[in-house]
Chain A
Amino acid sequence: MSQPVVKPGIAAGRLAPDRYRENFSDLHAPLDRHEALVEADRCYFCFDAPCMNACPTEIDIPLFIREISTGNPLGAAETIFEQNILGGMCARVCPTEELCEEACVREAAEGKPVRIGLLQRYATDAAMDANAQFFTRAPRTGRRIAVVGAGPAGLACAHGLAVHGHDVTIFDGRPKAGGLNEYGIASYKSPDGFAQAEIDYVTAIGGIAIELGQMLGRDFTLSDLEARFDAVFLGIGLSGVNALRAEGEEASGVEDAVDFIAELRQANDLSLLPIGQRVVVIGGGMTAIDAAIQAKLLGAEEVTICYRRGKGEMNASDWEQDLATSRGVVIRHWLAPLRVLTEDGRVSGIELEYTQLVDGRLQGMGHTTSIPADQIFKAIGQTLEPRHAEGLTLIGGRIEIDAEGRTSRPGIWAGGDCVATGDDLTVTAVAQGRDAAQSIHLALAARSAPARAQAGERIHG
């Protein structure tokens, strides 16, 4: 075993070089053929299967598992992709323990659900490795749709529209497409450039152009898009970060967890990525867990997640919390940040106040504790930046949509984390993007054929 390198403060290269690859390799090794067949045999092929109903994209799970068990992995992949074109990424990042696998009847029967996520990965990997494509584009309609955001919602929407023969242009402000799949997922859940490979696989259908470095509100406005396209889909995610509202949070060493995760995902050499010797992560969701685990994997000695409520209130699943603690992360509950402690303008620790619920309301208890830290990551939620939603009705700071994904502004649809009914899950974003594509297609088809022939006909034309 290579010895870690002891370095105080925030520093790079805490691990021996060989440890980085090991630490950030695939969280779950993929199933080989034998393992997949053994696991597939465990599926009971339930009637109106609870797993299927627990899936936001309603993948026919019993059917695809049966297809795997009969030696038909490509058939299985087709069953998956029919409902969820990003089935490969969802197989890697879905909190299956709270979705399909929690609903699996074998969870009720013996506490060991069929490992649906790994089986889904087996099938989708088989199809992507073979570059088996299951969709053909309908004849071109000449309709043009702008999709803003190349994340899961935008990609699912673009694919659905392309299937119908529409021409899609995706705009994304980042240098690479993928959204949170590329910038927000923990490295060990999507190693080896999977996010980009999946984008290539999804866009191979044709009719999808991606324009990178094009940011809504900076490089173009919604009105610009309305003028140039027949319809617009917003899958812009949440780019704002909540403030700690703790004294001293501007100190050097206080960072956004999402930035840290993105930087880590894009790093070519993880040994050059600095990390604190002692790290505190504030928050209770997946971002907090991902940041904390990866801080630990980069060689931080002490990593503590502080959450202001109890274990049960954390957005991160029990499974994710256990994963973090198994990697040596300490999770502390009922602690709210009060003050960032500094020395010479740099973080030296954080003072937190104990909290409790009084009549259902969270209250500070008046006494505090301090945790020494060189680096503090904020993971207390992200927000929609209002300038991205000009003229759209918001609910709770997110875009209001109806059941089909229509916003309050005619001709504009939205889905994913930016909408009020999003639940911060990749799979929900895919479902919303997919359903919006169908709604857009029907709306465009409803416009009469003669109207389509009129040159220059636009949404508000």
Chain B
Amino acid sequence: MADIRSNFVGIKSPNPFWLASAPPTDKAYNVERAFKAGWGGVVWKTLGEEGPPIVNVNGPRYGAIWGADRRLLGLNNIELITDRALQINLQEIKQVKLAWPDRALVVSIMVPCEEESWKAILPVVEETGADGIELNFGCPHGMSERGMGSAVGQVPEYIEMVTRWCKQYTRMPVIVKLTPNITDIRYPARAAHRGGADAVSLINTISSIVSVDLDSFSPEPSINGKGSHGGYCGPAVKPIALNMVAEIARDPETAGLPISGIGGITTWRDAAEFMALGAGNVQVCTAAMTYGFKIVEEMISGLSNWMDEKGHADLDAFAGRAVRNVTDWQYLDLNYIAKARIDQDLCISCGRCHIACEDTSHQAIMKEKDGKRHFEVMDDECVGCNLCVNVCPVEDCITMVPLEPGMLDERTGRIVEDRYANWTMHPNNPSTRPTPGDVSVVEPAE
């Protein structure tokens, strides 16, 4: 039986599945339900500084996009940080941590970008017995207008400065939560690293408008006819998050910096992918908000079974294993040649591969053979682009099959070479300096 216990920057939890700082972790009632359901840890919904409570809108806070069967694919929200009194939150955090000592309890914090504000709140959070803090430099809506959240996360110097204060004024591990609303995630991650952060967590939500009401012409969610951009999350943002996690994991300046992966994680498989790309654990929100806390049972069972099947004894056995395989485009092997193959036994003849290829790609899939409806790849036209695989409704019906070295690529008329060759070595690359005596041509110009 695989060991899925997690130790993230010294914070232990029975599994790597934490609930992210968000509505599901706003109070003891929810958090205790989550722990009963089996969640390994939570990041308590962001606390602000002492004072009059935060005010939220009193209309819709969430908007969504859906896939087939109205399955929720993306959610956005305009909810602010906790609108409950600081003291109540602190009391509940203390009480929950006492009752659930084996679970991770990290507290998210967002106070103004002033040293005194951080100096004031850190001791009272530490007093709760919480396992660590997460600095909310990510929320893109509302609080950012007040100079907090993503307004801090978009300025690396602020990130470094505040992180440094936190490391100075608390003994708790400091996790810096990053906003994706920047051009290059490596800069804020490096800043957090320089400031002494124990870890970064990402991604926070993405600035978004999910839809427009075509009767009232109001963005949604609509507050009396007006809308404001919200923070986007859910399955739709997972690819963006995966890339940002990978970018940090493979950046020499931040390599080894622990990462808590966040962004559209819905199943054990998503979690495993984040961890393979360098995340030490994962945080979940939208999936729980869509289906309830019970989904963690599937995540625990799925991850354990996959680890058993693959022989991964513990999380470290596979964590980061995909990082080395993330590279720049210019280093991709141009001698790797694949062709699509349609399994005629699995094919249900919907023809979507054909029309996608015919209308929008390379005219490489025939629609009939011997006068009958039949879909088959023409190797002499197939560039191996994978579009047909992606539009096919039947899993594994179309697969990409690499040509072995020595085989003929019917499209180019060339023999597949048994040699790695990338763009940096390509004769069409203006900056290529051909090695003397090397006359091989990797790929003809398109």
Are B351 and A48 touching (Cβ within 8 A)?
Answer: yes
Are B348 and A106 touching (Cβ within 8 A)?
Answer: yes
Interface string of A33-48 (1 = CB under 8 A from B): 0000110011011111
Q: Give min CB distance, B388 to chain A, whole Å.
A: 12
Q: Give CA–CA (A175, B351) in the complex, Å.
A: 49
Interface string of B335-353 (1 = CB under 8 A from A): 0000000000000111110
Contacts of B351 in A (CB 8 A): 46-49
Are B69 and A41 touching (Cβ within 8 A)?
Answer: yes
Are A108 and B69 touching (Cβ within 8 A)?
Answer: no
| Selected contact of A108 from candidates B70, B349, B352, B354, CB within 8 Å | B349
Looking at B69, B350, B367, which has the most chain A CB atoms within 10 Å of its CB? B350
Given A50-B373, A109-B394, the answer on whether A44 and B69 have CB atoms closer than 8 Å is no
Interface string of B177-214 (1 = CB under 8 A from A): 00000000000000000000000000000000000000
| Cross-chain pair count, CB within 8 angstroms | 37
Within 8 A of B (CB), among A93-115: 105-106, 108-109
The total of chain B residues at the interface (CB under 8 A) is 14
Contacts of A41 in B (CB 8 A): 68-70
Q: Does B393 contact A (CB under 8 A)?
A: yes
B355, closest chain A residue (CB): A47
Q: Give CA–CA (A42, B350) in the complex, Å.
A: 13
Given A105-B349, A106-B348, A108-B349, the answer on whether A47 and B69 have CB atoms closer than 8 Å is no
Are A37 and B354 touching (Cβ within 8 A)?
Answer: no
Q: Give CA–CA (A108, B350) in the complex, Å.
A: 10
Contacts of B348 in A (CB 8 A): 105-106, 108-109
Q: Give CA–CA (A105, B348) in the complex, Å.
A: 6
Q: Give CA–CA (A42, B349) in the complex, Å.
A: 15
Are A44 and B68 touching (Cβ within 8 A)?
Answer: no
Q: Give min CB distance, A44 to chain B, whole Å.
A: 5
Are A47 and B70 touching (Cβ within 8 A)?
Answer: no
Given A37-B70, A41-B69, the answer on whether A50 and B349 have CB atoms closer than 8 Å is yes
Contacts of A38 in B (CB 8 A): 69-70
Contacts of A47 in B (CB 8 A): 350-352, 354-355, 367
Contacts of B68 in A (CB 8 A): 41-42
Contacts of B354 in A (CB 8 A): 47
Are B69 and A46 touching (Cβ within 8 A)?
Answer: no
Contacts of A109 in B (CB 8 A): 348, 393-394
Q: Give min CB distance, A70 to chain B, whole Å.
A: 12
Contacts of B373 in A (CB 8 A): 48, 50
Interface string of B342-374 (1 = CB under 8 A from A): 000000111110110000000000010000010
Contacts of A50 in B (CB 8 A): 349, 373
Q: Give CA–CA (A47, B367) in the complex, Å.
A: 9
Q: Give CA–CA (A49, B352) in the complex, Å.
A: 10
Contacts of A44 in B (CB 8 A): 350, 352, 393
Interface residues of B: mostly helix, strand, loop or mixed?
A: mixed
Within 8 A of A (CB), among B3-36: none
Q: Give CA–CA (A109, B70) in the complex, Å.
A: 22
Contacts of A106 in B (CB 8 A): 348
Contacts of B350 in A (CB 8 A): 44, 46-47, 105
Q: Give min CB distance, A34 to chain B, whole Å.
A: 9
Interface string of B39-68 (1 = CB under 8 A from A): 000000000000000000000000000001
Q: Give CA–CA (A42, B393) in the complex, Å.
A: 11
B68, closest chain A residue (CB): A41
Interface string of B120-164 (1 = CB under 8 A from A): 000000000000000000000000000000000000000000000
Q: Give CA–CA (A105, B140) in the complex, Å.
A: 45
B375, closest chain A residue (CB): A47
B69, closest chain A residue (CB): A41
Q: Give CA–CA (A249, B391) in the complex, Å.
A: 62
A110, closest chain B residue (CB): B348
Looking at A42, A44, A49, which has the most chain B CB atoms within 10 Å of its CB? A44
Contacts of B69 in A (CB 8 A): 38, 41
A106, closest chain B residue (CB): B348
Are B352 and A46 touching (Cβ within 8 A)?
Answer: yes
Q: Give CA–CA (A49, B367) in the complex, Å.
A: 12
A38, closest chain B residue (CB): B69
Within 8 A of B (CB), among A3-56: 37-38, 41-42, 44-50
Q: Give min CB distance, B359 to chain A, whole Å.
A: 9
Q: Give min CB distance, A100 to chain B, whole Å.
A: 14
Q: Give min CB distance, A106 to chain B, whole Å.
A: 7
Q: Give min CB distance, A157 to chain B, whole Å.
A: 32
Q: Give min CB distance, A136 to chain B, whole Å.
A: 27
Interface string of B68-102 (1 = CB under 8 A from A): 11100000000000000000000000000000000
A34, closest chain B residue (CB): B70
Q: Give CA–CA (A44, B351) in the complex, Å.
A: 10
Q: Give min CB distance, A238 to chain B, whole Å.
A: 35
Q: Give min CB distance, B428 to chain A, whole Å.
A: 35
Are A48 and B70 touching (Cβ within 8 A)?
Answer: no
Q: Give CA–CA (A38, B71) in the complex, Å.
A: 10
Are A45 and B367 touching (Cβ within 8 A)?
Answer: no
A39, closest chain B residue (CB): B69
Q: Give CA–CA (A51, B394) in the complex, Å.
A: 18
Q: Give CA–CA (A44, B350) in the complex, Å.
A: 7
Q: Give CA–CA (A106, B349) in the complex, Å.
A: 10
Contacts of A37 in B (CB 8 A): 70
Within 8 A of A (CB), among B372-402: 373, 393-394
Looking at B349, B393, B394, which has the most chain A CB atoms within 10 Å of its CB? B349
Contacts of B70 in A (CB 8 A): 37-38, 41
Interface string of B392-421 (1 = CB under 8 A from A): 011000000000000000000000000000
Q: Give min CB distance, B400 to chain A, whole Å.
A: 21
Given A37-B70, A38-B69, A109-B394, the answer on whether A48 and B352 have CB atoms closer than 8 Å is no
Q: Give CA–CA (A355, B286) in the complex, Å.
A: 67
Instruction: Please give 11 more A-B residue pairs, beta carbons under 8 A apart, in addition to A44-B352, A46-B349, A109-B394.
Output: A37-B70, A38-B69, A41-B69, A41-B70, A42-B68, A46-B350, A47-B367, A48-B373, A50-B373, A108-B348, A109-B393
Show the binding face of A for B, using Cβ within 8 Å: 37-38, 41-42, 44-50, 105-106, 108-109
The 8 closest A-B pairs by CB, nearest first: A47-B351, A47-B355, A41-B68, A105-B348, A46-B350, A109-B348, A108-B348, A105-B350
22 inter-chain pairs at a CB distance below 8 angstroms, sorted by A residue, are: A38-B69, A41-B68, A41-B70, A44-B393, A45-B352, A46-B349, A46-B350, A46-B351, A46-B352, A47-B351, A47-B355, A48-B351, A48-B373, A50-B349, A50-B373, A105-B348, A105-B349, A105-B350, A108-B348, A108-B349, A109-B348, A109-B393
